[in-house]
Chain A
């Protein structure tokens, strides 16, 4: 074997070790913003924050750092601290990364997908996501912006539910009142606000809280478009990040979880 091949094989080996889940679906090399593993990370609990790992548009699972891993894992763990403190839900302190390709997805009735403006689900994944949602699973999507990313999101979602419309969630929907009354909502910008000076990204000026409902009027897919709740969770401990943004992001996230566990 020539020296170049040996080098390539070695790098591949290192990459495989780093990219392979290191227990509880942890992807060390792919962490966007590393955070310490909590001491009770292995506790068996009722609720687990399941982060969806999906293939990225035109790049597969690993392209562009893996869009699914944005803000991962600090946003997840910091948000979970809030859920633990503010609710009676028995919550694990560490997230779980889940794939639609695995039947393990059915053990986690609540999943969070970020940057879905870059996802590209396979037909089989679309079918499995549809089945997951029809069984009673709940999907929260976040952190995608503007017309282009909406269209990319829609390209996969329309294959999941070709027959179900995506609608704006009315203010009186229980999801905005199950714990906190969220009648006054506003755009929650990501950390990019500090270098761009704009609260929005791309042409996503107006924040949208949208959803896909089931036949009994329950939300199956909660779509947070033109906002970045994940960044707000991630940077809630940054003194410069405004409290009102972080606070709303926490409230929305908690309401969505409690809604998913009650409807």
Chain B
């Protein structure tokens, strides 16, 4: 019926380009229409007295409008309107039919497997209907694009869905074959991050429309899915690792699920989480990084009954636990208890090497933890190479004026360029009372120190966690969030505190103290500066946490070890290996990047850099890295990772044959994992793909319209036609209808 009324299919109206065939100017049409309207209005106003009395003005206006519509329509048709459209020449074009053959298409929803429904669509009509006017080519989409002979060959066994790669391949074919259109049957669950702009541009430049048919439910009724797992890429041995887990649910609102983190089959941490809402929820669990080497963390939400897809409940992440000891320098201006107990806490940490200097008298220093008798003999380092040996620096109760201008600048460079961590402690000669606020290092501080003095008070102060501190690795003293809050509530009061002013924008307050008046003041404040990190601890009295609690309580030690590890973790290495991710999903190659710095931690200009890649099968190969001209100090190479499994990548850098450093990281290739995540139909992606390429998105029950839609395309071998609209039955019926309406109104209102 619609086809009869409008003469052409809807697709033509969507694709066609409107034009007038008469060649008369459009401006003239508008002028004539306006003139007609004005003449009609003038005539009506003059003729009004001749109409029966009481004829209301608005009724005349309605009748005038109807008359003008009829006249206008006739004038419009006199201009010979029509649509220009490109139509594929029957028998000369190829239609590429792409079928998503990945594992997610094996999911059963709507009573059958997605792939079965796709096959049924092809076998029961679509291929036949297309074959009537075109050649058809059937392709399988998975890790790439592969032609198949029959729909029966589609088995939904491909480990990944890379739509971009498949569409690029078809675009390349379209440049040498008359491909008139692409039909894509898919659930849209792309595992490579979606269709990129480059692919869209290629398709648009070829004017190749991609028509998409969506399979699968938009949303599962009952499912819990891990959405993301964030873990630091590197860690020191046995340090605390924060694992931030994002998940969402449908159909289990209010129920409880168990979140578990395992390594090597052993449970490292677990927490019960209450599922709520359909928005993404987050939990942070803290686990022990374990010994040096690559460490696989398996994060899972234990499946609930009746879940549609239980394979999206677990993910693996890889952490490179570095086989090194971080070096920390602690400069203290006076013997004090905090110094002793910090040393004791950090000495227990096998991943840290603490070197400390304390001023015992006005002219004497006492060094501890030194490896050579002459190390730091003259006190605080004065040369770059001396200070840059360390990864972190603690400044205790010591005045800024104790340091020379050169040393102050060195400290700034240590944080900014070296990427070292710097911690300021409170004390009678620390922070504001030590003149640090007015020193040139004031800008490093995460707080604006108050100008008044004294700010250091030997008064007891209670502590409390802030919301930011509840899940932070520094302040996590117990495995779960609730237990951590309990530990902090039980901590004894600090021996002293210092006013440190307001936190700067971008700084994060992890803990607060309550002064004797009950006023909350920042206690531990952190922020980034340059490549490094800066923290302020507004007390020199955490030693009471050790002396006022049972000797087997570990709160004080754990706090200080975590704070020290946070300080040193971000420190740059002279040679550092950067991989795009420690877990590769379905990738067959990886880009290895190495950053090489000279002894001053400036980008190196000359070096030989090579990488040793050990595969899961015991194979080993060397790859030469080449410097990047646009990024000083960066060397890069692409390396094949042909098999799934754990690879170990080690880079070595040397200058004139002399080794200057090396770095190592694990790399895990996993195939077929992402196919089980985000497995609902990604309708948005399919709709966007169709829209941006001039195609159309179809639901499965609309797929019969595809052959008709496909006919209009500018790709392949097409002819451009003009389809006239003057004889469209719907327009003629409209004119008749308007006149009939006018007649009816005149009769009803008595206007004759």
* CB of A137 closer than 8 Å to a CB of B: yes
A87-B360, A261-B337 known; A179-B547 Cβ under 8 A: no
Asked if A6 is at the interface (CB within 8 A of a chain B CB), the reply is: no
Bound state CA distance, A109 and B362, in angstroms? Answer: 24
Contact call A262/B340, Cβ cutoff below 8 A: yes
B428: A residues at CB distance < 8 A: 90
Cα–Cα, bound, A107→B544 (Å): 7
Among the listed stretches A71-79, A128-136, A232-240, which one makes contact with chain B, having 4 or more residues with CB under 8 Å of it? Answer: A128-136
- Cα separation A47 to B362 with both chains bound (whole Å): 17
Give the one of B333, B337, B360, B546 with max A CB within 10 A. Answer: B360
Q: Which of B334, B549, B550 contacts A90 (CB 8 A)?
A: B334
Q: Report yes or no: A86 in contact with B340, Cβ–Cβ below 8 A.
A: no
Q: Is A178 an interface residue (CB 8 A)?
A: yes
**CB-based contact B347/A216 at 8 Å:** yes
Contact A107-B335, Cβ < 8 Å, known A90-B428, A262-B366, A262-B368? no
- Chain B residues with CB under 8 Å of A260's CB are 340
Residues of A within 8 A of B368 (CB): 262
* B343 at interface, CB cutoff 8 A: yes
- A263–B337 Cα distance when bound, in Å, is 10
Q: 0/1 per residue, A24-48, Cβ < 8 Å to B?
A: 0000000000000000000011110
Task: Take A262-B339, A262-B368 as given contacts and tell me if A135 and B551 are in contact as well, using a CB distance cutoff of 8 Å.
Answer: yes
Contact residues, A145-198 vs B (CB, 8 A): 178-179
Please tell me if B234 contacts chain A, counting CB pairs below 8 Å.
no
A260 to B459 alpha-carbon distance, docked (Å): 23
Could you say which residues of chain B place their CB within 8 Å of the CB of A135?
546-547, 549-551
B459's nearest neighbour on chain A, judged by CB, is A44
CB pair B334–A88 under 8 Å, yes or no, is yes
Bound: A109/B361 CA distance, A: 21
Min Cβ gap B282→A in Å is 38
Within the assembled complex, what's the spacing in Å between the Cα atoms of A103 and B341?
19
Q: Does B358 contact A (CB under 8 A)?
A: yes
Judge if A61 is at the interface, Cβ distance under 8 Å.
no
A89 within 8 Å of B (CB atoms) = yes
Chain B interface, number of residues (Cβ within 8 angstroms): 31
Q: Does B497 contact A (CB under 8 A)?
A: no
CA distance A56 to B358 in the complex (A): 39
Contacts of A86 in B (CB 8 A): 361
Given A89-B335, A109-B337, A260-B340, A136–B547 Cβ distance below 8 Å? Answer: yes
A19 an interface residue at 8 Å Cβ cutoff?
no
Question: Nearest-CB distance from A22 to chain B (Å)?
Answer: 22
How far apart sit A47 and B366, CA to CA, in the bound complex (Å)?
A: 18
In the complex the two chains form, is B547's CB within 8 Å of A88's CB?
no
Q: A72 to chain B: closest CB distance in Å?
A: 24
Beta-carbon nearest neighbor of A255 in chain B: B360
B14 at the interface (CB under 8 A from A): no
B364 at the interface (CB under 8 A from A): yes
In this assembly, does B458 line the interface, its C-beta being within 8 Å of a C-beta of chain A?
A: yes
User: What's the Cα separation between A262 and B369 when bound, in Å?
Assistant: 12
Q: Tell me which of A46, A87, A103 contacts B337 (CB under 8 A).
A: A46
Q: For chain B residues 314-353, which have a beta carbon within 8 Å of chain A? A: 333-337, 339-341, 343-344, 347
Residue among B335, B543, B546 making CB contact with A88, cutoff 8 Å: B335
Q: Is the CB of A87 within 8 A of B361?
A: yes
Interface centre among A47, A86, A87, A216 (most CB of B within 10 A): A87
| Bound Cα distance A16, B515 (Å) | 37
Residues in A with CB closer than 8 Å to B495 are 107
Q: Which of B603-626 contact A (CB under 8 A)?
A: none
Contact A45 B343 (CB under 8 A): no
Interface-centre pick from A45, A88, A109, A131 (highest chain B CB count, 10 A): A88
With A45-B458, A131-B551 as known contacts, state yes or no: A179 contacts B361, CB within 8 Å.
yes
> Cβ of A205 < 8 Å from any Cβ of B?
no
B359 within 8 A of A: yes
The smallest C-beta distance from A254 to any residue of chain B, in angstroms, reads 9
Asked if B548 is at the interface (CB within 8 A of a chain A CB), the reply is yes
Contact between chains at A263 and B340 (CB < 8 Å): yes
Contacts of A103 in B (CB 8 A): 548
- Segment 542-561 of B: residues with Cβ below 8 Å from A: 543-544, 546-551
Minimum distance in angstroms from A111 CB to a CB of chain B: 12
Question: How long is the Cα–Cα vector from A44 to B358 in the complex, in angstroms?
Answer: 21
Q: Are A262 and B550 in contact (CB under 8 A)?
A: no
Interface residue? A209 (CB, 8 A): no
B361 x A261 contact (CB < 8 A): no
Q: For chain B residues 351-391, which have a beta carbon within 8 Å of chain A?
A: 358-362, 364, 366, 368
Task: Kindly state the separation between the CA atoms of A131 and B343 in the bound complex, as whole angstroms.
Answer: 20
B458 adjacent to A89 (CB under 8 Å): no
Contacts of A47 in B (CB 8 A): 335-336
Q: Using Cβ atoms and an 8 Å threshold, which residues of chain A touch B364?
A: 179
What 0/1 readout, one digit per residue, does chain A (224-262) give for beta carbons within 8 Å of chain B? 000000000000000000000000000000000110111
Question: Across the interface, which residues of B come within 8 angstroms of A90, CB to CB?
Answer: 334, 336, 428
Whether A46 contacts B336 by the Cβ 8 Å rule is yes
A136 touches which of B334, B341, B358, B458 (Cβ 8 Å)? B341
Least CB distance from A31 to B in Å reads 27
Instruction: Give A107 to B495 CA distance when docked, in angstroms.
Output: 9
Q: State whether the Cβ of A213 lies closer than 8 Å to any Cβ in chain B.
A: no
Minimum C-beta distance from B526 to chain A (A): 26
Q: Which residue on A lies nearest to B548, using beta carbons? A: A106
In this complex, what residue of A is CB-closest to B366?
Answer: A178
A21 to B: closest C-beta gap in Å? 21
Q: Which of A45, A136, A263 is close to B546, meaning CB atoms less than 8 Å apart? A: A136
Contact A46 B334 (CB under 8 A): yes
Residues of A within 8 A of B335 (CB): 47, 87-89, 257-258, 261-262
Contact of B362 among A44, A88, A107 (CB under 8 A): A88
Residues of B within 8 A of A46 (CB): 334, 336-337, 458
- In whole angstroms, how far apart are the Cα atoms of A262 and B364 in the complex? 14
Task: Let me know if A258 and B347 touch, CB within 8 A.
Answer: no
Q: In chain B, what residue has the closest Cβ to A108?
A: B547
Residue among A107, A257, A261 facing the most chain B CB atoms (10 A cut-off): A261
Report chain A residues within 8 Å CB of B343. 262-263
- CB neighbours of B544 from chain A (8 A): 106-107
Residue of B nearest to A105 (CB): B547
A-contact 0/1 string along B293-305, CB 8 Å cutoff? 0000000000000
Report yes or no: B333 in contact with A137, Cβ–Cβ below 8 A: no
- Do A109 and B543 touch (CB < 8 A)? yes
Contact A106 B340, beta carbon cutoff 8 Å: no
- Asked whether B358 lies within 8 Å of A262 as measured between CB atoms, the reply is yes
CA distance A134 to B552 in the complex (A): 9
Contacts of B548 in A (CB 8 A): 103, 106-107
CB closest residue in chain B, given A216: B347
| Minimum CB distance partner of B356 in chain A | A262
Nearest CB of chain A from residue B525's CB, rounded to whole Å: 23
In the bound complex, residues from chain A placing their C-beta under 8 Å from that of B344 are: 136
Besides A90-B336, A131-B550, A135-B547, 5 new A-B residue pairs in contact (Cβ under 8 A), listed by A number: A87-B335, A89-B336, A107-B544, A257-B335, A260-B340
**Top-3 shortest CB links A-B:** A44-B458, A134-B551, A261-B335
Binding site for A on B (CB under 8 A): 333-337, 339-341, 343-344, 347, 358-362, 364, 366, 368, 428, 458-459, 495, 543-544, 546-551
Q: List 24 A-B contacts (CB under 8 A).
A: A47-B335, A47-B336, A86-B361, A87-B335, A87-B360, A88-B333, A88-B334, A88-B335, A89-B336, A90-B336, A106-B544, A107-B544, A109-B337, A131-B550, A135-B546, A135-B550, A135-B551, A136-B344, A136-B543, A179-B361, A179-B364, A179-B366, A262-B339, A263-B340
Q: Which positions in A face B, CB cutoff 8 Å?
A: 44-47, 86-90, 103, 106-107, 109, 131, 134-137, 178-179, 216, 257-258, 260-263
